[in-house]
């Protein structure tokens, strides 16, 4: 008796802790996978397990009872399996398939208990027996068929049920909002408190139904992914390394014959030639005049360092001529200024655009 009294005393405080974590997880704007949120999830699950163990030890509920026989202050403890399923679904640390499977069990227990107490008329569908892998693989593949009239009626019924649940959920949420203001007062009538908790139970019935629909789809995907992963790791032979073709080499103009011998002819159709061969070819074609002095690409290709020194010398001589007001330099400068006035930058490459 003393042990039961102690447990009964701790149960309300434990449930309040559970509800506090639920309220935090509902309102938080942080990522579910963050360490902070996962810490809340862990503690919420531990507190919820503790509360469920207390309820089972006290034997507060029985399948032979009606909801009218349950005390108003104890109705809220019926929510614990649904809350446990909710907390589990927030867990991103453990294996996902195990998490959703456990969450499904808690949601299912809650719905069965609510049906037993006539809180809802919803009946949880039994799990369909799955055929063995060998039987499934032995079946011939058939093209997708159009849904039969019976299937269409079933789909239409499911859609109407979802719409009905959605409308009912909105009404329940509004009612809960109004009742919550009264329940949080210091002195609350027992009937008001009872109405509040019964409305809360009905709201979570709809939540669990929708969550179970979502979980069924997720379990199917997770099982398929696990099966494919297992098949790849055990059944399939290791993949041979694919031979990737060598990338196309660019057009190469070598500086001298030694580089040409090193590079070779390269990819067929992309010739390789020395700078002298390239220069001579362009002179023969008439597209380039032979070098008669000054700086050129040929000089830079042969000896970049020497060409850089030569440029510096030429720039120094040019500055000296400008300072002495050399007539030729002044004329070049004036001609260049006049050219820039009549020819804007970029006019020479319009590609026939106006």
In Å, what is the CA distance from 332 to each residue of 295, 318, 322? 18, 11, 11
pLDDT of 283 higher than 90: no
pLDDT in tens, 115-124: 999 999 888 8
Average pLDDT over residues 29-40: 93
If one compares 260 and 184, the residue with the highest pLDDT of the two is 184
pLDDT given for residue 3 in this prediction: 44
If one compares 249 and 47, the residue with the highest pLDDT of the two is 47
If one compares 250 and 190, the residue with the highest pLDDT of the two is 190
Average pLDDT over residues 58-71: 88
Least confident interval from 1-10, 83-92, 333-342: 1-10
Domains of the chain with CATH codes: 2-127+161-234 (1.25.40.540), 252-342 (no CATH)
Report the SS3 class of residue 36.
helix
270 vs 259: CA distance, rounded Å: 16
Report the SS3 class of residue 28.
coil
Average pLDDT over residues 214-232: 86
pLDDT of 130 higher than 60: no
33 vs 20: CA distance, rounded Å: 20
**How many CB atoms are located within 10 Å of the residue 7 CB?**
15
Spatial CA neighbour of 41 closest among 87, 99, 100, 96: 87
Buried b (16+ CB within 10 A) or exposed e, 55-67: beeeebbeeeeee
Spatial CA neighbour of 31 closest among 92, 102, 83: 92
Q: What is the mean pLDDT of the chain?
A: 76
Task: Answer for the pair 6, 58: CB distance below 8 angstroms, yes or no.
Answer: no
Average pLDDT over residues 236-244: 60
pLDDT in tens, 308-341: 777 777 777 777 777 777 788 778 878 878 877 7
- Provide long-range contacts, Cβ within 8 A and 24+ apart, for 223-226: 223/97, 226/97
Average pLDDT over residues 18-29: 94
Spatial CA neighbour of 278 closest among 300, 253, 296, 252: 253
176 vs 80: CA distance, rounded Å: 18
Report the SS3 class of residue 245.
coil
Provide the pLDDT confidence category of residue 101 given band limits of 50, 70 and 90. Answer: very high
pLDDT given for residue 146 in this prediction: 58
Instruction: Concatenate the DSSP letters of all residues of 177-241 into one string.
Output: HHHHHHHTSSS--HHHHHHHHHHHHHHHHHHHHHHHHHHHHHHHHHHHHHHHHHHHHHTSPPPPP
């Amino acid at each position: 008796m003393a042990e039961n009294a102690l447990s009964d005393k701790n149960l309300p405080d434990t449930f309040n802790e559970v509800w506090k974590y639920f309220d935090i997880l509902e309102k938080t704007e942080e990522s579910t996978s963050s360490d902070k949120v996962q810490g809340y999830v862990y503690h919420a699950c531990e507190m919820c397990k503790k509360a469920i163990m207390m309820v089972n030890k006290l034997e507060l509920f029985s399948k032979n009872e009606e909801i009218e026989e349950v005390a108003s202050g104890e109705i809220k403890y019926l929510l614990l399996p649904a809350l446990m399923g909710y907390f589990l679904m927030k867990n991103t640390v453990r294996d996902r398939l195990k998490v959703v499977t456990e969450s499904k069990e808690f949601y299912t227990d809650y719905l069965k208990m609510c049906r037993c107490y006539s809180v809802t008329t919803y009946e949880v569908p039994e799990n369909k027996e799955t055929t063995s892998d060998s039987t499934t693989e032995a079946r011939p593949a058939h093209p997708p068929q159009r849904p039969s009239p019976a299937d269409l009626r079933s789909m239409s019924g499911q859609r109407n049920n979802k719409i009905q649940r959605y409308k009912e959920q909105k009404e329940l949420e509004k009612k809960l909002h109004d009742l919550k203001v009264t329940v949080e007062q210091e002195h609350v009538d027992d009937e008001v408190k009872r109405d509040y908790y019964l409305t809360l139970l009905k709201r979570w019935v709809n939540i669990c139904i929708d969550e179970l629909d979502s979980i069924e789809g997720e379990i199917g995907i997770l099982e398929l992914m696990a099966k494919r992963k297992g098949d790849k790791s055990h059944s399939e032979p290791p993949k041979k390394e694919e031979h990737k073709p060598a990338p196309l080499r660019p057009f190469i103009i070598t500086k001298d014959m030694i580089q040409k011998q090193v590079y070779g002819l390269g990819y067929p159709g992309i010739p390789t030639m020395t700078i002298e061969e390239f220069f001579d070819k362009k002179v023969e074609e008439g597209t380039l005049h032979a070098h008669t002095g000054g700086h050129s690409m040929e000089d830079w290709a042969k000896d970049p360092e020497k060409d850089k020194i030569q440029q510096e010398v030429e720039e120094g001589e040019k500055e000296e001529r400008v300072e002495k007001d050399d007539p030729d330099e002044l004329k070049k400068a004036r001609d260049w200024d006049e050219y820039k006035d009549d020819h804007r930058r970029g006019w020479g490459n319009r590609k026939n655009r106006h």
